[in-house]
Every structure is written in C-alpha cells, then in structure tokens.
Chains A and B, each alone.
Chain A
C-alpha cells in the first residue's frame, strides 16, 4: 500500500513540472540511445555467433608471419591436416569473384572455391540438388556450381528446372548442381560455390598460392592447447621451406577466430572497447545530468524529508519515496530508447546493405535483438542506481536535526553544493574530452572527404589482377600478358586509353651530388610501375614523353617524375635526361628522367598536401610485376562497359581470376567518401549531443543552485550587494569549476594528442592540436559562463524582500 501511495505521489510530481520531466527524459533517452546503439551495432558486427547451426564452434583459421596477416599454402595445409590431432573438419576455401555471362551482358558476383567438407562444416543442406563432392574436385571433372537462393531467383528467374540448366561462369559453361537456402552466403558474401580442384591443392611449397581454412576444435575449451600443437607443427613445416625456397624468415603461426571476429581482422576488441568507452562516457554524462536534476528536486524537498523523518518515516521508506520519481522516468526513458534504437538499427541495416549489396557478410544483420534488450535493462538499472538511488540515499541520510533548526537552508546544502560543483567539473571534463575527440575525428574524416587526390577517375573503369606465380613464373610472360590485355582493351572502339598501375611503396632516393650520413637520412619517393598512358587516370604529361613498350628490358632504365620532385631537386632547371638512383626490389637502380607529370597524393601523406611527397613512374616493361591495377577510360557513359574488360581478359587468358572485379574507378572512392562522411557526421553529432547534454546539465545545475540560493541572494542584497556583486560571485565560482574541469581535460587531451601524433607519424602539425584545444576551451567557457550568467541575472531581478521570503 505505501508503495502505491509513493508511486502516485511521484507521478503527481512528474506531471506537476512537465518541462522538467521532458528535459530529464530527453537527456535520458539521448544518453541511453547512443550507448545502446553503439553497443548493439558493434556487438552484432563483432561478437555475434555465426547464424548457422553450431556456428559458435566454427573457426576461421588464418596465419601470421612475424605478426603480419597471412594464410596457409596448399602444401602447409596438406601436411598440417595429416599431422594434427586437435582439429576436426579441417578444410580450405578460396574467395573469388566470378563473372556470369549472358550473351553480351554479364554480371560480377562474389563466390567461393570450396572443398567437399565445406557445406557439411556449415551444417546446411541444399534447398535443391546436392552440394560439392570429392569427384567434382578431380582434375578433368565436369564444371559444376552450387548457387545461392538469390542467384536462382534473380539470374535464373527461379526456374523449376534449375538443376538441368547451365551458367557461363568465367567463360566456362557450368552445370548447376544445387541451390542453397535463402540467406546462406557462407563463408561471407558468396553467391556461388565452385569446387576447388585437386590441382589447386597439390601444389609445391613455393607455389605462392594461399587459402583460407576452417575447422573446429575437437575438445571444446582447449583452444590454447590446440593452438600450441598446431603452431609447433606449422612452424616446423614453414622452417623447412624457408630453408628450401628462400621464403620470408620468421615464425609462422595460426590464428583461430570465429568468423565474425576474423572478418574485422581480429582487432575488433580495441575498436569495440574504444567506441563503447565513448558511448559510456555519454551515458555517464546523461546519468550525471539526470541525477543532478533529481538531486536538485530532492534537495528542494529536503525540509519535507526531514519533517517526514521526524514524524517517524524509516530510511527505507524515505529512499523508496524519493526514488520512485527517478525509477519511473528512467524506465520510461529505457523503453523509449529501445524503440528508438530498434528503428535506428533497422534503418542502418537497410542503408548499409544498400551501399554494399554484395560486399556485406551475411551475418551482418543489425536490429533489435536479445543482447541489446539485456544491455538496455543493464543500462537502465545502472542509470537508476546512479541517478536515483545515490541522490535519494544521500538525501535520506541527512542530519534531520540541523535541517529542521537551520533558519535558512538545510545544513546539508554545503555538502550538496560541493557535490554539484564536483558534478559540474566532471561534466566539463567529459564534454571537453568528447568534443576534442569528436572534433579531431570529424576533422580527419572531413579531410578525407575533400581530398584532392590529383587524379581524374571520371569515365574510368578499373580491375585488379594478380597473376598466379606458378602459371607466370618469368618476367617476359607477365609483361606479355599485360601487354596483350592492354592492346585488346585499347582496340575496343569505346576505349580512349589504358594504363596499368602498381604502387610499389616508398623507396630510398639517392642523388649523385649529395652526401647522406646514413641510409635513414635519405629522402623517400613513391614508386609506381606503369604500362600505358598515365593520362588515362588524369596524371598528365607536363614535359617529355610517356613510357612506351620500347622502354623494355635491356634498354636504358627510365622514369617519369612528379612535378613536386622536379621542383624539389632541380628548381628552375630542365630535368629531362637527368638521372637519380632509387632502390627497387633490393637493387639501387639508376633511372633517367624522360618526363615530368602532375602530382598525385601519396598514400603515406594522405592527410598532407598534394605536393608534399614525390612520385616516380617506372616502366612496367622493365620492372615486371604479377599484380597490376588496370584502368581504361571510356567514351561516354560507363554502362555495360565491364564486358569490354572481360572479353579482353578472356582473350589474354581464359582461366584467370580477377583479384578484384571490374567496376567504375570512382566506385570505391565514393563509397569511402560516403562512409567517411557518415563517420564524420556521426562523430560530429555525437560531440554535439554531448555538448547539448552538458548544456542542459550545466544550465539545470546552475539554475538550480541559483534558485536554491535565492534566499541567500536576498540577504546579500539586503546588506548592500549590487547586482554585479552577485553575478560576479556566481561567475567566479563557475570559473573555478571550469578551470578544474578544463585543466584536467587538457592534460588528458595533451596525452592523447601526443600518443596520436606519434602513432600518426605527425600527420597534423602540432599547432593544430593547440588550435583545437583552444577552440574547445574558449567555446566551452563561453557556454558555461552563459549558462551561469543567465539564471543568475534572472534571480537578481527579484526584489530583495521577496527573495528573503523565498524558501
């Protein structure tokens, strides 16, 4: 019965001040929603079990060489499989892009080459037909494929006779042997599955082929032990081959991760922790504000509480009575945030899937789920504890006697004042940190979005090819292949120009007339191997001539250099015919300059100026490479121009897989920009929301502390204080809090900035951090001072006699 009375009383209080209730609710819903959304989004992305039967025990197996990501070679896999005792269902697959051709038209779809255990491992049976068996993998077997539900629906019009139909996959007529159930895209994004060939698996140790692998640990929970055995076996195999085939020296070890975790490269935990920490900071901020607002109310009712206690109310009763208001409003806020976050996740899901219709791994489905609800309940309880229980407990434990006999305000007001001062300080600190982080990441994203890359990708299509080492061992073969491909492409009437690019990274530059104390001191240039005309991608000739097929092995080694380099080393001079030395593939090569071309942004100075680093273009005919990005520029629009590439490719080599499918060169870049602008908007709005929260909080706190001190203001004015005296007094107290909060934040920011600066290799000039910090300090100071000034100003307007009557 008493509880019902308390609840009724609490509801009446909430309705009595609707503005206060709405403000508190808004703060709560904001804080809860942000942290809940962050949690749910990241949790679904990283930690959710694979949505397949027994998905939690399915492991993705990859390797590390000296800490760098790597995979198993077929040789290593075969040996490991026969020797190891800890894994079951140990198998391999290879992610591929496939070209489905329909006459002149075609389509790229992601797929996988899999072994016969693959579908069993995923515990999924086909909807129609069968999956891949051992016989399919034999050399010379009929070409077969298992297709996804989606391919069946979209490409084959859901034909009933699908099992009697064929598809042209990478120019090969392939029989359809099975259709997988809807939604199945294991191991990630696959829409079609072809058998791995025994040829692919029985390769020598130096073949340079790599496979993804999968498996389960036999004895559940013995992860560490299993890893120990596998690692020692693998390293044994690797060390033998290092000696035999001159492979990279070092230790090769395995990584056993769940599929979702492996997708994020295993570094998800850091991101998860960092982003959640930020989200929790916002929640904490919200809690502080809600707590404050409720605390303010309980202090207002302190005398009432003291009277109740004097009349015999127990502590428990008092706490419960004071808490109901908080419990009701927090619970309401919790429910509202669950609804809000549910909607937000739903739309995020739609948006992300529409951005990358093929690229999203199938378990990335965001929406309201059990984990999020559980977290919502935890968050709500934590909020109730922080923002309702603590203030209520504090208020109920006051010294009744001194509250009752004190003529003006509760004797506790000094303590309460200290608490609220502490809270304001914390608030200022948290907001400053959030704003600094937000501003920094928004700045980085913005910089990415507005980057001038120095190239021109309009009407340009691109594809990437990695020639298999086994098939193209000799430089002449590689060069011949790419030369063929380029000529085929160029011969198409719609193609304007073609070029290949191969970023080889940065190399040390040696000038003849210079002294370098050590190699470390030598300047660096980015080296790009190229065949064809670089103007295809907007890197235009300023002087000299383009690289041609005549710049080949045996003739003088040449390079085109960027304008920035010409200006840096030969200012005001003509550079044609001059030379320099650059380390390429371990050799110090002497290169003669044949041309100067426009600047391009180097990956390593991605946030710097376009001419802050130099590039050189060397002849792909002199320095061959398996990997190339191929670009071709089209007359007019890009529709249906992928086929041009596939036709040319199939002419040059019928059985080649693309490393990356053909697509407009702009596509990835605009996707990256979209993602970046989303990130920048998100961080910016998070920072903005934090600021809003703090404003509400600081305003509420100050307004409240001013209101609480109305009587005191009356006394002070009665004995002669001017308006200015009063306002100054409050501003001075506010300033002290501000200085403490900001000071702490600045120290932390300095540490963060220092770490970031180191980590980013001085990506930003140091003054930028100072400017950022200054902006935040000045901005926040103005805001806080205003939040103090406005309510104080209003309070002093009251006649002293009315202020004195104020209780």
Chain B
C-alpha cells in the first residue's frame, strides 16, 4: 500500500484575543490509499481541526504534511484549491450549504470550479449523486426549506459529486435517524469499495466499526490507532 497522506509532528494553535488554544499537538500519522479510517474522541479534542488540516482547509502551525508525496506547505493557494476541487470531498459537521443556492446548485458547486467539464456531464453527475442520497425530488428547493437530515444528505451529495479520492466526513450521521444514517454509511462503504480513501469523525462505536482503522484522540493527541477486523469485509479486498 502507498502512503497517501503523511503527517509529521503536526501542531495547530489558535490565537484568539491573546489566549492560545492548542487544538492539535504533535500528531504523526500515515494514511494509505484506500483506507477507511474512523476518528473518535471527546468533544473539543481536535477532530474537526485535524480533518480541516487534512482537507487543506487550514495550515498547520508547525510540522510537515505530505499529500501524495508533495509537501503541502510548498503548494500555492491555487494548487491547494485545485486539489480540493478535484480530489477531496468534505462533509461538514454543520452542513454548510449556501442558503442562496438551490439543492442542485449547491451540489453542482465543486464541479463549477473544475475546468473543462461539459454542462451535460455536470447535470448527469449531480442528478446521479442526488439520486444516490434520495434527494433528487427536492433539487429545486433551498436549504432552509429542508429538514436537518435532508440538508445533511445534500451535503453528502456535494462531497461525492467530484468523485473524490479522499472523503473527509465530520460526523456525517450526527443529524440523521438510524435509517438515513445507515443509508449514508452504506454509501461511504460503497465508495470505499470503489477505491476512495475515507476519514470519518464519529462518536458512534457502531459506525466506527465499519472502518478498517480506528483512531482515537484526546486533547489534541492521537492516543490509539487500531486495525479493525471487519466482519463484513469483502473477500476480494482482504485478498489484495
């Protein structure tokens, strides 16, 4: 297996009104291509912060981060944006939909920032992901007209629309009932089977079990890193 992400002694500090918050302190982590990782830990321990560092939404205060073997700190802002639009799908803890755009337009957003995609292709892709999350019938609604769970599913659709190689999900099922949650998790499973690398923050031990590797954080540090023996792991993947 090849290392997709390499974190080397990564730290992140926040400075607000002269108070320093150390959200991440000295994390070393390697994530391989095709891995399905769950990340858990108590509230405020730095999970979301770590995820946004992984997703290039933020830069670490210190330490090295290599993505596909490239030092991220050497990338220009545009290169990072390009990676975000082409390779990363982000599902936020709070859905982060744009309220002035319809469901369809929200999902379409990542594709509009890629160059050279045909309009028809875009439409097909968006429709197909909306179909997957069963939101196609609401495609012309605005986010404020949807329930929390529905908004989350739209957010998931948006994360999937660009066929990302890395999916970063921050409690994707936090707002969903068990049926909807299962649907989203099944979706992630399927994407994983198709080769996507997934990193999912979750509080729910049952969800965590679906991943092949469980990370646990405490106060900005990684305190446990365990391989999961997955019960329902497809045979062919075990073989590979």
Contact = CB atoms under 8 A, between A and B. Distances in A.
A254 to B, nearest CB: 67
Contacts of A719: 84-85, 90, 109-110, 113, 158, 162
A85 interface: no
A799 B96 CA distance: 15
A270 B110 CA distance: 59
A524 interface: no
Given A717-B81, A717-B84, A720-B82, A408 B98 contact: yes
B92 A721 contact: no
Interface string B79-93: 001111110101010
B225 interface: no
B143 interface: yes
A666 B144 CA distance: 75
Interface string A711-738: 1101111111111110000000000000
A772 to B, nearest CB: 38
Contacts of A605: none
A185 interface: no
Given A407-B143, A719-B158, A800 B99 contact: no
B97 interface: yes
A579 B189 CA distance: 108
A53 interface: no
Contacts of B58: 799-802
A410 B162 CA distance: 28
Interface in B48-75: 49, 52, 55, 57-59
Nearest to A720: B85
A123 interface: no
A257 B55 CA distance: 81
B233 to A, nearest CB: 31
Interface residues of A, number: 30
B78 interface: yes
B142 interface: yes
B100 A720 contact: no
Nearest to B151: A407
A655 interface: no
A79 B90 CA distance: 99
A397 interface: no
A804 B57 contact: yes
B77 interface: yes
A409 interface: yes
Contacts of A718: 55, 57, 84, 90, 92, 96
A417 interface: yes
Contacts of A407: 94-97, 99, 143, 151
Given A716-B113, A804-B92, 5 more contacts: A407-B97, A411-B142, A714-B96, A801-B52, A801-B58
8 contacts: A402-B144, A407-B95, A414-B99, A719-B84, A721-B85, A722-B78, A723-B78, A801-B52
Q: Which 4 A-B pairs have the closest CB atoms?
A: A720-B85, A801-B58, A722-B81, A719-B110
Interface of A: 402, 405-411, 413-414, 417, 711-712, 714-725, 799-802, 804
Interface of B: 49, 52, 55, 57-59, 77-78, 81-86, 88, 90, 92, 94-100, 109-110, 113-114, 142-144, 151, 158, 162
